[in-house]
């Protein structure tokens, strides 16, 4: 008997007359104007910042959202704006100075809003709770004495003020480092009137310092390092007067440019490039709002930046470091309640070998609501099982410390065949991945770095085990065979982020899937032509074509008056061909829901083009990271497919990365994914934002159903 189709009928299909009308409109409608990607990224950060306004979010978590926006904006300038500037310089790119200025204006508005929220809402609320950050004017005599002693003992010995003159030129200022600029009067020790001095602040110094409890009775007091240095800046220049000064920080282009066709050792080339990353082209200059125009002009000249690249902020120039306050504060009631992911005992009874259980059924893991520990245990069992012969794993972002990498090293030490496909070009994780690659090679693991020109973004772990089969009672001799066990995931092999990001992991012993995984590993290692996978779909080979084919299937079903449904949950939607396919399906009458966390260039609700498309973004306690793709093009059991994937719907994922998508063929697991990863998000009202045809996001509500809270209750 055929399996029943999955239940996802959230909206009825369009009636036939409506479908016909849309079909007639299709040929008459002009091309759709897509939304700007950079502004869409800034819109996402605006939604993150809105979390810091919510009364139902604990205060320290509200501060954390403020710092997350700063971290996101750093990367936005380091990568996206840097690329934008390069595009402006290239003839025929279609991007001009006006476009760059518009992006900069949007960034200025967001940053101004961020600091206003920080100064006027978040920090006063924390002060009302007894957590205070004291500037020099607010500190009493005892507190000033303690700060002075701290400066003398912990800070001053590490500072080397630099007065500028022809023999002391403007120093190399590292990316995102904290610095002070000062204008001095008087003469130096040699009788000269050099007026400008620079003080570079070492990164080893803490940016937030907690005052002793005895100095702040009844409260928790903190001082910022910038305030400490500011209060004692004059002491760094004895015999002279500091007339004006400012903190400053420069953000630089941080893309590592390596010509893979022109290097003999990618790892060595990247390690060399890491030393230069901190000194790429300047992109943004941050100073405090009180910085005199004379000093800002001087800094802009030194960094060769236009006025539009100057950001005057009303507060610390790096809010990311306020995370240190969150970590030091003794105030659990101002944080999210502790959430402990559950072990899926109903599907993986503890105490029984995971490999043995996978021989009976596939297992789906929904992080962070369910624990990542079964994945760790899966690898740990494989490492210690004498019958496991080989372990293969892709490594994209694992972190500087990783129990999984330690287990791979142990497996190699035990004599197992270990293949690690390490993506050295994982942005901002290059150094950690290089270090893991070297450690793995040192114990005999085979390490490869993927394919030239492509990033390996697929997430897979494959175990090959020798097993005995045959009659136990001696009717025929026992035989041995090799059996594979695999793990596929929408997210990285990082236990820390697995507690913060939503992702789906898939443990399986399915011979078809695991054979395809083995073929992909073979291709990554040998670069040989292998048979096309039968179950997995990979990029850059067939994933884009497969998705376009399904989009056409849905469109054809809609034109024929059959059920036509698309639900896509990804982090970003920017690929032109996929957006065109969605438009065509919408015009045909298909019902389409897109759950896109970040950048979305497709405007929904445009009459005659995307009026059957709805776009929403979920911003909650956890970072939405799951990629789920659902198509239905009829009413039969074979007229639907659901994929899990490592890929977002971006051109880079489809053509410049190794990505995987795999269909979930088990009807029960498919329904569970729909019930947990799609339906709750389509009904979310508390954390959901909807996109309108003009590119504006509006919060649905701050009350009502929350997908993440519901999943925490159901699975945690």
Catalytic residues: 457
Query: Could you give the dihedral angle defined by the CA atoms of residues 112, 114, 118 and 120, in that order, rounded to the nearest 10 degrees?
Result: 50
Of 270, 316, 310, 313, give the one whose Cα is nearest residue 290: 313
The 10 Å Cβ neighbour count of residue 320 is 18
Distances (CA, A) of 358 to 160, 472, 511, 642, 665: 61, 22, 11, 21, 15
d(CA 398, CA 495): 8
DSSP bridge partners of 479: 469
**E runs forming strands in 523-597:** 537-539, 565-570, 591-596
| Token reading at 193 | 């009137």
Instruction: Specify whether the CB–CB gap between 411 and 404 falls below 8 A.
Output: no
Q: What are phi and psi of 148, to 5 degrees?
A: -60, -45
d(CA 600, CA 480): 52
The 10 Å Cβ neighbour count of residue 495 is 19
d(CA 237, CA 223): 23
Instruction: Specify whether the CB–CB gap between 643 and 487 falls below 8 A.
Output: no
SS3 157: helix
Q: What are the DSSP calls for 165-207, one per residue? A: BTTBPPPP--TT--EEEEEEES--TTS----EEEEEPPTTS-S
Query: Could you give the dihedral angle defined by the CA atoms of residues 639, 644, 649 and 654, in that order, rounded to the nearest 10 degrees?
Result: -100
DSSP bridge partners of 465: 388, 483
| Token reading at 315 | 């507060």
SS3 615: strand
| Token reading at 643 | 């994929």
Of 710, 497, 506, 714, give the one whose Cα is nearest residue 622: 497
d(CA 566, CA 591): 6
């Amino acid at each position: 008997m055929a399996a029943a189709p999955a239940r996802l009928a959230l909206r009825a299909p369009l009636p036939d007359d409506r479908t016909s009308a849309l079909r007639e409109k299709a040929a008459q409608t002009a091309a759709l104007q897509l939304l700007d990607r950079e502004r869409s990224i800034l819109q996402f950060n605006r939604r993150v910042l809105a979390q810091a306004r919510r009364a139902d979010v604990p205060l320290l978590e509200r501060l954390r959202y403020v710092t997350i926006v700063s971290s996101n904006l750093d990367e936005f300038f380091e990568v996206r704006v840097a690329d934008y500037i390069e595009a402006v310089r290239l003839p025929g790119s279609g991007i001009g100075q006006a476009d760059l200025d518009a992006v900069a204006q949007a960034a200025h508005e967001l940053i101004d809003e961020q600091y206003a929220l920080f100064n006027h809402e978040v920090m006063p609320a924390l002060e009302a709770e007894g957590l205070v950050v004291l500037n020099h004017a607010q500190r009493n005599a005892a507190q000033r004495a303690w700060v002075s002693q701290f400066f003398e003992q912990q800070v001053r010995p590490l500072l080397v003020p630099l007065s500028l003159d022809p023999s002391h030129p403007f120093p190399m200022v590292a990316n995102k480092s904290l610095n002070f600029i000062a204008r001095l009067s008087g003469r130096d020790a040699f009788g000269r009137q050099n007026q400008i001095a620079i003080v570079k602040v070492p990164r080893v110094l803490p940016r937030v310092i907690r005052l002793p409890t005895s100095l702040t009775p009844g409260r928790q007091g903190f001082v910022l390092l910038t305030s400490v240095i500011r209060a004692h800046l004059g002491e760094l220049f004895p015999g002279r007067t500091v007339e004006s000064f400012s903190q400053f920080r420069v953000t630089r282009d941080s893309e590592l440019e390596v010509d893979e066709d022109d290097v003999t050792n990618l790892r060595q080339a990247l390690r060399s490039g890491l030393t230069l990353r901190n000194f790429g082209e300047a992109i943004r200059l941050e100073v405090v709002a009180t910085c005199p125009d004379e000093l800002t002009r001087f800094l802009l000249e030194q960094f060769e930046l236009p006025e539009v690249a100057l950001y005057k902020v009303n507060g610390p120039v790096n809010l990311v470091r306020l995370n240190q306050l969150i970590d030091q504060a003794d105030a659990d009631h101002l944080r999210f309640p502790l959430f402990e992911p559950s072990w899926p005992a109903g599907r993986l009874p503890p105490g029984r070998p995971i490999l043995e259980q996978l021989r009976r059924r596939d297992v789906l893991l929904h992080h962070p609501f369910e624990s990542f520990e079964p994945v760790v245990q899966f690898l740990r069992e494989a490492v210690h099982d004498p019958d496991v012969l080989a372990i293969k794993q892709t490594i994209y972002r694992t972190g500087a410390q990783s129990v999984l990498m330690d287990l791979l090293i142990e497996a190699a030490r035990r004599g197992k065949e270990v293949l690690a496909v390490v993506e050295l070009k994982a942005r901002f994780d290059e150094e950690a991945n290089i270090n893991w690659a070297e450690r793995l090679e040192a114990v005999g693991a085979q390490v490869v770095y993927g394919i030239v020109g492509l990033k390996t973004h697929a997430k897979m772990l494959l175990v090959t085990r020798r097993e005995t089969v045959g009659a136990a009672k001696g009717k025929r001799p026992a035989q041995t065979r090799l059996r594979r066990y695999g793990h596929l995931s929408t997210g990285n092999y990082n236990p820390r982020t697995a507690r913060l990001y939503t992702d789906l992991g898939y443990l399986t012993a399915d011979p078809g899937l695991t054979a395809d995984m083995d073929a992909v590993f073979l291709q990554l290692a040998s670069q040989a032509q292998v048979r096309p996978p039968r179950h997995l779909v990979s990029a850059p080979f067939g994933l884009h074509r497969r998705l376009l084919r399904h989009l056409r299937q849905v469109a054809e079903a809609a034109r024929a008056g059959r059920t036509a449904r698309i639900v896509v949950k990804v982090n970003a939607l920017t690929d032109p061909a996929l957006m065109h396919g969605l438009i065509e399906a919408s015009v045909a009458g298909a019902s389409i829901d897109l759950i896109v966390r970040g950048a979305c260039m497709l405007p929904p609700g445009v009459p005659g083009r995307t009026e059957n498309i709805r776009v929403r973004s979920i911003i909650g306690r956890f970072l939405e990271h799951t990629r789920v793709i659902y198509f239905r093009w009829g009413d039969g059991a074979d007229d639907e497919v659901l994929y899990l994937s490592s890929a977002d719907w971006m051109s880079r994922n489809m053509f410049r990365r190794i990505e995987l998508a795999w269909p979930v063929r088990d009807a029960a697991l498919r329904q569970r994914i729909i019930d947990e990863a799609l339906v709750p998000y389509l009904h979310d009202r508390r954390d959901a934002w909807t996109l309108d045809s003009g590119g504006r996001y509006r919060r649905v509500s701050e009350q009502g159903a929350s997908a993440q809270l519901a999943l925490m209750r159901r699975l945690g």
